[in-house]
Structure 1
Amino acid sequence: MDELQGKTATWRFDEEKVVIQYSSRWRNHALLKALARCEVPLPAIAAVEFNSVAKKGWQLQLRLRERTDPYAVVGPLLPEKGQPFLLAGGPDTELLAEYYADQLRIGADAARLGDGPRPPHEYALAIVPPVPLHIQTSEGRAMFDGQMFRLEWSDDASSRKSKKRRMDYALADIQRVEWFPQRSLDEGYLRVVTWQEDDDAKSAKPRKDFACLLTEDSAKQDAWTLVMAATVTAHLWAAEHSGSPQPANAAQLTADTRSVYDRIRELGRLHEEGLLTDEEFTSKKTELLNRL
């Protein structure tokens, strides 16, 4: 396999996939350290972008096909240093990196053409960690086995949650999973949105919401809740294509969800081009998600 080493990871690739081994050094973003390793099938890649950064080196980024990258749709846009499919390096390896970018682009184009009608969600399942997946935060645990999602709270949770102890959600009952990282004094959380969510659930504060698992004072907890949200999302995409039973209004809701995600991706592009500030992007994205 060809190999390209950058500041945050090492990429190894052949005619089938890109294997990304993330560095465990302490300065690396918590998400990359949580993932440790990731495989991206070449047919999942929509584009390969290479940019030279004057006097600073280079950046190589994989843009994945629609409904293939669950990390990009479950919450706010990740900072550059936390994007799992972006690699940067110094000026001394720029020519090598540009050469490999061309090779990856050629390989990805050929793989897509030869892949036939395979649905993108299959690649999403390859990109996220295997199930069963268990994560721990200061408030409790989340567990997912591919069909059932469970939130379980510890004695450190609010009295409302600690008395309830746990909530189970069948995959067929989940519309989406949201992720919100910690911001300033606000707690971060993972949140399950069901097809039948009522107004009381929408108005509940995260600390008292039975659909939420909080994170507190820990980038590591934020990273693992993002990994969990992305993993459940990948399985939701797969369930849509498998013919799994859904509520009567699910077809329309799914169409609405896709429309929202398409608009969020467009906002992300405008944000990356500097046409939207961080605050404008977050505000507009939250507004779109609240319409679901």
Structure 2
Amino acid sequence: MDELRGKAASWHFDDENVVIQYNSRWRTHALLKVLARCEIPVPAIAAVDFTSAGKKGWQLQLRLRERADPYAAVGALLAQKGQPFLLSGGPDTELLAEYHADQLRLAVDAAQRSDTLRPAEEFALGLVPPVPLHIQTSEGTAMFDGETIRLEWSDDASSRKTKKRRVAYALKDIERVDWVPEGPSTEGYLRVVTWEADADAKSAKPSKDLACLLTEDSAKQDAWTLVMAATVTAHLWAKTDRPAERAQLTATPDTGPQIVYDRIRELGRLHKEGLLTDEEFASKKAELLDRL
């Protein structure tokens, strides 16, 4: 397995995966320390970006397919040093880094041409910790078991929260999970947003919001709440990994020959993109052909 070492991590390459081992040095971003290791299948990658900055070194970044990267979905406010799929290094290793970027692009192109490309949502689950996941902040704890996220507050939380003590939200009721890191003028927090939450609830002050878990003056707490937000997001995606068009195609179609042919072509496209299994494609295609 080939290796490329950078400032914050070492990347290992084979024909199927990019395995990232993050450094544990004190200068390494807290999120990377929390993740420790990450394995990215080549078919999860949409693009490979390589940038040379001359004497300042180089940067190699993986951009994953839509709905494959839960960290990017919830961590848009991350500083560059906290990007988990970005590696930078000095000018002495630039040629090696560029070589690996070129080889990886070839592997990604081959995967994208494959007829068995898996849905992006499946990769997202492999990039987050296994459940149950339990985290702790200065205000309390959050636990997610794959179906329900539970927030519980310590005695240091606001009186509204300590009076309630704990709440639980089923995955089916969650629209999204927001994450905001602590800043000079902002509280850091994890917020569960449900489908039924009104505008006032979505904008409530985090210290009073029963759907929020605060962080306080801790990069590690910010990192763990981001990981929790990404984990819940990945499971949300996995629950909705079949688009509305799939449901439409499995409904009873019109019977005109041209419409049937159009639907068969559309089924073929969804099958190629990995949105229909071989069995689903064959069954529905046979049903449509019977209508001719």
Q: TM-score, normalised by structure 1?
A: 0.80
Cα deviation for residue 54 of structure 1 reads 1.7
**Contact 1:19–1:37 (CA<8 Å) still a contact in 2?**
yes
Aligned CA RMSD, in angstroms, stands at 1.4
Paired amino acid for 2:99: Y
Cα deviation for residue 117 of structure 1 reads 4.5
1:172-251, aligned counterparts within 5 Å?
172-241=172-241
Paired amino acid for 2:214: L
Structure 1 residues 178 and 92, CA gap change in structure 2 (3 angstroms): same
Cα deviation for residue 112 of structure 1 reads 2.6
Match of 1:254 in 2: none
**Contact 1:76–1:180 (CA<8 Å) still a contact in 2?**
no
**Contact 2:43–2:108 (CA<8 Å) still a contact in 1?**
yes
Match of 1:164 in 2: 164
SS of the residue 2:77 aligns to:
coil
Match of 1:8 in 2: 8
Paired amino acid for 1:120: A
Match of 2:289 in 1: none
Paired amino acid for 1:241: D
Match of 1:86 in 2: 86
Match of 2:73 in 1: 73
Cα deviation for residue 151 of structure 1 reads 0.6
Match of 1:49 in 2: 49
Match of 2:101 in 1: 101
Structure 2: how far apart are the matches of 1:34 and 1:73?
Answer: 18
Structure 1 residues 21 and 237, CA gap change in structure 2 (3 angstroms): same
Paired amino acid for 2:85: F
**Contact 2:174–2:195 (CA<8 Å) still a contact in 1?**
yes
SS of the residue 2:76 aligns to:
coil
Cα deviation for residue 205 of structure 1 reads 1.3
**Deviations 1:27-85 (Å, cap 9, x if unpaired)?**
01111111111111100101111111121111100011111111112143321111000
Gaps of at least 5 residues in structure 1 are 244-292
**Contact 1:59–1:87 (CA<8 Å) still a contact in 2?**
yes
* Structure with bigger gyration radius: 2
**Deviations 1:146-203 (Å, cap 9, x if unpaired)?**
1111111111111111121111111000000000111104210000000111345234
SS of the residue 2:138 aligns to:
coil
Gaps of at least 5 residues in structure 2 are 244-292
Cα deviation for residue 2 of structure 1 reads 1.1
**Contact 2:193–2:202 (CA<8 Å) still a contact in 1?**
no
Cα deviation for residue 118 of structure 1 reads 1.7
Structure 2: how far apart are the matches of 1:179 and 1:58?
Answer: 30
Structure 1 residues 65 and 155, CA gap change in structure 2 (3 angstroms): same
